[in-house]
Amino acid sequence: MSRSLATRIAGISDTKAWPWLLLAPSLLLVFAVIIYPTISGIDLSFRQMRLNRMDLGIGYVGLRHYLALLDDPIFWISLQNTAVWVFGTVALELACGLVIAVALDYELPGMRVMSVIILLPWFLPLVVAGNIWALMLDSRLGVINAALQGLGVIEGFKAWFADPDWALPAAILVETWHGFPFFGLLLMAGLKGIPSELYEAAAVDGAGFWHRFIHIQLPGLRMIIVATVVLRAISLMNSPELLLILTGGGPGRSTQVLSLYAFQKAYREFNFGYAGALSVVMFLLLMTCSWLYVRYSNALRED
């Protein structure tokens, strides 16, 4: 019995179908958790699908939602704000993460403890971090206002999130505080992977900190920087949580971003078709930007 089974398996393993059979469980899983939901989401964007107006049916409406997007001023404001939100936050987080990673790369006393402390913001759930910062920046009780007033930077307590000029920058600062450890941690790991011989050779050549950073550390981190930037940009583009807590997209539409707009369309208006179209546009934007970024950053270049 077992001999004949073994013989049969041996027979199949010689056929061209064998690799596909081995891959089948993984392919099924990938189909179930990635391909099907993605196709389903795209399909949704071509349907009516308003959950509180089921009398309208759920039939296909072609490109109606996509054409409506072109005429929707909130979409264009959201797109503009999304660009500022994602680029601004990623740039600041990368800069802070890089500074922290380089600083912690020095084997100084207390650096291990410091590296754990610096990671703390990342451990905090975004909802908690958002509420903490909302309180710290509060125009009545906020300690940051008190500190800035004490230092003479501002005359009176400022309502940061109520000012259309300051709401988005303030939210970017909060998100940066929460997200920079992500860059710090991965860049620190990258720095640890740079061979010490390179530093020794640079020291022999008399290279200082700056030359060491530009010619050894930065090139050594190139792949990690590209990967972290892409991952973080995707995460920022897709998550409206912090803005939902801090501003709800306001004042007016000052902090309205695409993910928040899609959320509002889906869960306040229950217009899943329109929200689906917004999500597909975000998906395409992310794919295009990531591809362009990876291509032009030469991350895949063979040295």
Q: Which residues bind other proteins (CB under 8 A)?
A: 51-54, 138-141, 156-159, 161-164, 167, 244, 247-254, 256, 263-271
Nearer to other proteins, 45 or 256 (CB): 256
Give least dist CB 65 to other proteins, A. 13
Instruction: Write the Ramachandran bin of 46: left for phi over 0, alpha for psi from -120 to 50, otherwise beta.
Output: alpha
CB 174 within 8 A of CB 161: no
Give least dist CB 200 to other proteins, A. 55
Give least dist CB 43 to other proteins, A. 15
Nearer to other proteins, 39 or 201 (CB): 39
Give least dist CB 277 to other proteins, A. 15
Question: Rounded CA gap, 163 and 112, in Å?
Answer: 40
Nearer to other proteins, 171 or 187 (CB): 171
Give least dist CB 166 to other proteins, A. 11
CB 141 within 8 A of CB 255: no
Nearer to other proteins, 177 or 263 (CB): 263
- Gyration radius of the chain over CA positions: 25
Give least dist CB 237 to other proteins, A. 19
Nearer to other proteins, 164 or 220 (CB): 164
Nearer to other proteins, 12 or 162 (CB): 162
Supply angle C-alpha 172, 175, 92, rounded to 5: 65
